[in-house]
Chains A and B, each alone.
Chain A
Amino acid sequence: MSVTNLNIKSDAAAKPSASIVTLSRAAPPSAGFRMPGFVKTLADNVLPPIITLAFLLVAWEFLCSSPTSSLPAPSRVLEESWALIVDPFYVGQGTDQGMFWHIFASLQRVAVGYALAAIAGIALGTLIGQSDLAMRGLDPIFQVLRTVPPLAWLPLSLAAFRDGNPSAIFVIFITAVWPVIINTAVGIRNIPQDYQNVSKVLRLNGYEYFTKIMLPAAAPYIFTGLRIGIGLSWLAIVAAEMLIGGVGIGFFIWDAWNSSLISDIIVALVYVGIVGFLLDRVIALIANAVTRGNVKA
């Protein structure tokens, strides 16, 4: 994952794409008959996961079908949590809200904490990427701090902020900031000498160098950090909200557990998974759009 030691500076260190693993597809076998292009792509990409999903649901249904089973089967989940599933926009009293509102509340916290982490992470990463002194001073501290589990920060931030919401936001921040810092710094340390020479010949000033050379050159690395950061944020928010309470998907899960509503938990987990996936895709799409063409020429 994001375990990148800055002291090991080599061309091979932290290739932008190395950190996020997607299984690549093997070349498709040449089809004996022809389908229209997009229908075929659709079938190739959508059918396999649907079949897998159906298979898993059937297996699950079968395994949990006994009336004494400790976990509900899919059919029972549908039955017990039907109201929750069909009305995500339900508005009730206090924490009695539809799924949409819980997810929305969690996303708001993530948005604030993550945005702060992105800004601070790129700034600090630039600093330690640029300056050897800053790196010698900060890198050892960062390497220690980043191993502290996100939730371990929560009591401290509750003590500091005396309120759940800013504490949760702080936990998001502190979770997401390390991979952004480290990847940005590695990206900036890996800017080829050639590009620096170009900027010297043109006598670019600090601001021009930052916007025209440094950011674009380090962008693939920065986005790797941002992508790892968003995943960690989403992991952390669920855990943090379990502890701070209020509206939010984490507390919803905890509350359902306390009320022994296991079916509701399962519905919530499906939401958590899908939203987490979408967040990752969004950052990946932005990364693709921004770093388009930013391949080694």
Chain B
Amino acid sequence: MSKSYLSLEFIDKSFERNGVRSDVLTQVSLGVEKGEFISIIGHSGCGKSTLLNIVAGLTKATTGVVFLDGQVVDAPGPDRGVVFQNHSLLPWLTVYENVSLAVDKVFSRTKSKAERHDWVMRNLDLVQMGHAKDKRPSEVSGGMKQRVGIARALAMEPKVLLLDEPFGALDALTRAHLQDQVMQIHAELGNTVMMITHDVDEAVLLSDRIVMMTNGPAARIGEVLDVPIARPRRRIELATDPTYIRCRSAVLKFLYERHRLVEAA
């Protein structure tokens, strides 16, 4: 059997607190091909962030293995660029310094100082944040912070880009704008992307496949949906695209009919 580029195999995760064990994930297996854009969707608290953290190496799976490009993932590293749920920029550094911290670390041996500077600027320009390079995170808007977070992750040239609800805290207009930017970057660079989202439209618009998780506790992968819409995709045209509508209602059905969020489970 040939392994996928990113391969999650039989991941179980349970947390233990004060001797009480709670199962969060059970038997999660998933293969992601190189260059593929995958979304993970599911209700709040089902374990999406936990799954992403396991791929990032920030959390250890209780059982199961993650392979990336043939290597076992057992610690965090710059080959998996993470954009965190709440941007996680360092507030005492400027926008430029936040990205250069990553670039200087990852390319300390392979790029000269001037090359590293150009590379930081390239990535800031990619998310159209070059103009604000000397601002501090507290001085830019939420959408801009998230863009810098994306630039920081991209600048590490990761094998896979992990996005944890990157646009969750943004207003609809900013969100649409950033979704377009991410699509464009994905088209340009061909990254492998794993994105967590709550938003059905976002999932269908951006993804090649949508992974739908059942509700916790002990969440599993309920269904994986192919999104066979040609790229480049334009949101206005998609609104009436029959495939888009079919995918969208499939996800909605899964989330709101078959796996409604059970309160106080």
Contact of B138 among A197, A201, A203, A293 (CB under 8 A): A293
A262 to B89, CA, bound (A): 59
A196 to B, closest residue via Cβ? B58
Listed A/B pairs (9) with beta-carbon separation below 8 Å: A195-B88, A195-B90, A197-B82, A197-B88, A200-B76, A202-B101, A203-B78, A213-B90, A216-B92
A212-B101, A293-B136 known; A201+B91 contact, CB < 8 A: no
**A296 pairs with B102, CB closer than 8 A:** no
Q: Per a CB cutoff under 8 Å, which of A202, A213, A219, A296 touches B106?
A: A202
CB contact list, B68-116 vs A, under 8 A: 75-78, 80-82, 84, 86-92, 101-102, 105-106
Contacts of A294 in B (CB 8 A): 91-92
Number of interface residues of B (CB under 8 A): 27
Residues of B6-38 whose CB lies within 8 A of A: none
Q: How far is the CB of B175 from chain A (nearest CB, A)?
A: 19
Interface size in chain A (residues, C-beta < 8 A):
21
Contact status of A203 and B76, CB under 8 A, knowing A197-B82, A212-B101: yes
- Label chain A's interface by main secondary structure: helix
Measured CA separation A200–B75 after assembly (Å):
8
Cα A291 to Cα B92 with chains together (Å): 8
Nearest 9 CB-CB pairings of A with B: A297-B137, A297-B91, A194-B88, A200-B76, A216-B92, A294-B92, A297-B138, A293-B136, A201-B76
Cβ A216 vs Cβ B138 within 8 A: no
Interface string of A276-297 (1 = CB under 8 A from B): 0000000000000001011111
For B106, give the chain A residue with the smallest CB separation.
Answer: A202
Inside 8 A of B76's CB, which chain A residues have their CB? 197, 200-201, 203
Per the bound structure, the CA–CA distance linking A203 and B81 in Å amounts to 12
Residues of B within 8 A of A200 (CB): 57-58, 75-76
